[in-house]
Amino acid sequence: MKKSFLSFLLVLIASSGIYAQKQDDHNFTVAKNMEIFNAIYRNLDMMYVDTLDADQVIGNGINRMLQSLDPYTVYYPEDKTKDLKQMMTGKYAGIGALIRYNMQIKNAVIDEPYEGTPAAKAGLKKGDVILSIDDSTMVGKDNAYVSNHLRGEAGTTFLLKIRRPGTGKILQKKITRESIQLPSLPYYGLQDHQIGYINLNSFTENCSREVRKAFIEMRDQGMKGLVFDLRGNGGGSESEAVNIVNMFVPKGITVVSNRGKMKRGNHEYKTMVEPLDTVMPIVVLVNGETASASEITSGALQDLDRAVILGTRTYGKGLVQLPIDLPYNTQMKLTTSHYYIPSGRCIQAINYKHGNGGSVEHIPDSLTKVFHTLHGREVRDGGGIKPDVECRPDSLPNIIYYLSASGQDSTEVMFNWVTNYISTHETIGPAATFDITDAEYEDFKKKVVESGFKYDPESDKVMETLKKVMQFEGYYDEAKEEFERLQKKLTHDPGHDLDLHKDLVKQVLASEIVAAYYYQKGVIQNTIRSDKQIKEAYRLLLDNEEYRRILSPKQ
């Protein structure tokens, strides 16, 4: 026994020595490379043919180093730390409006004011051309330049000069900047059959309070089931995600665990208070842009068999970041750990490799591992959250993307038609039922054709590729006649395509118009009625037997 113990002790001492040696080697390698880096820049600064801007050159070096790690570890110099604060809190100081660069007039314009903000209070409208801010001209300036001048310290006042489309009038607006809280919960409301709907688009500070308030209000109105929409929600605060899950599951349950290199930074987030409701049926809507805190929320509710997840597979971000203060008022957002949801799985979809400047490796489904939900259903790690019910949305036709785009070749015909509609209609009908008439759609179609609008349908690209392959393999001359007939049939005709996709294009136009009168809340109300995934969620909530079957383990 003594000999055995002595052998164990010797092995332990040897292992400790090896670890200490490795740690010493690591520390020496770090110190060596830091010294080399400093020496390189000192020589550049003294001897390089041009005078160097240290902030720019070293900043570029820092950014390239971080880019080789992962896309979430980011350095913020002093003049960019406000961007990090806005990301974490959803707040900034400005006028509260989206702007866009109109390629037709080569100028920044108002795209969409947010409800209740200085932009909305000043009566700014979609399409207003931004001419100047105080004494600084904005004519021809890009979006970044104009946005930077619109923002500033809360409480400061400036004079905004605009040209209103439709009338051509030059207007001056005296606007006082405010602290803008981007709406994390743009809409909630009770729908048909007493089904509640909550749309959450970000996990910013205190968003869980808003979700809680919305849920209680609808429950008091007789809500019998909930659709919780996390599509397009890129995440945010981990603790806010835990607070939302806590609304629906008992106290004392571990929702998410963070594990990283620094053991003292590891943390388990448990539900801390009694829930609001543990039995009401819930369907959570997700898609490929559902990420981070949204995946913690949807994944935890799935692992705990508390909700049915419906939609398409989520993004797959299983990494956690913390803000780190650096010298001279700079900051860094640093990836410190992976997170694990209640079943024990991490849903990170990509391995980041740090050699040779960085690369990515998508984890194939064949390498994912099986885990189990609270009631024994199989779920897998890696690759995001796979929905319990896969339901793909109606895909938008290619022509809509080109009509909506503001790129270099855009005719801005859709944007101009919408702004003209707004300028000639003081009011419109209720957001939930608004639509444009067939006569108005015909007018829009006419404007598109007259504008010379062109777009690049995917079929053209495929046909061109096919032609090259046929020529290379020697089949083209023999099949030329048939090929050209097919190509002629596939030649795009905007008027024909607008007839073919009339219903979908009308929906997009209606949404653009509704936003100008009822803001984002109205847009969601307007699109709910035609949303395929929401309809499927309603159907599922009204079918109690199927809902329970989905949450039961497979026999």
Q: Which of 100, 90, 95, 114 is nearest to 519 (CA)?
A: 114
Question: Do 299 and 278 contact (CB within 8 A), yes or no?
Answer: no
Of residues 230, 113, 221, 223, the one with CA closest to residue 162: 113
Rounded Cα gap, residues 378 and 67, in angstroms:
35
Residue 293: partners with Cβ closer than 8 Å, 6 or more residues away: 203, 233, 235, 236, 237, 238, 240, 241
Q: Of 283, 182, 157, 265, nearest to 224 (Cα)?
A: 283
- Under DSSP, the state recorded for 194 is G
Bridge partners, residue 110, by sequence:
99
Angle at the Cα of 417 from the Cα atoms of 411 and 423, rounded to 5 degrees: 135
Q: Are 256 and 300 in contact (CB under 8 A)?
A: yes
And the tokens for 507? 């929906």
CA 159 – CA 176 distance, rounded (Å): 9
CB 382 within 8 A of CB 313: no
Closest Cα to residue 386, out of 318, 314, 319?
314
- Grouping H, G, I as helix, E, B as strand and the rest as coil, residue 154 is coil
CA gap 224, 201 in Å, rounded: 23
CA 241 to chain centre: 16
Q: Where are the alpha helices (DSSP H) in 271-412?
A: 293-303, 398-404
Distance CA 383, CA 378 (A): 15
In 248-318, beta strands by DSSP E: 254-260, 267-270, 282-286, 308-311
Contact 502/509 with Cβ under 8 angstroms? Answer: no
- Which residues face 109 on adjacent strands? 100, 129
Helix, strand or coil for residue 375?
coil
Please check whether residue 141 is in contact with residue 109, taking contact to mean a CB–CB distance below 8 angstroms: no
User: Among residues 531, 256, 208, 450, which one has the least CA distance to residue 539?
Assistant: 531
Token output for 107 = 């100028």
Residues marked active site are found at: 292, 303, 317
Task: Name the nearest CA neighbour of 400 among 366, 444, 343, 351.
Answer: 444
At residue 101, what are phi and psi to the nearest 5 degrees?
A: -95, 120
Task: Please state whether beta strands 308-311 and 282-286 pair in parallel, antiparallel, or not at all (unpaired).
Answer: parallel
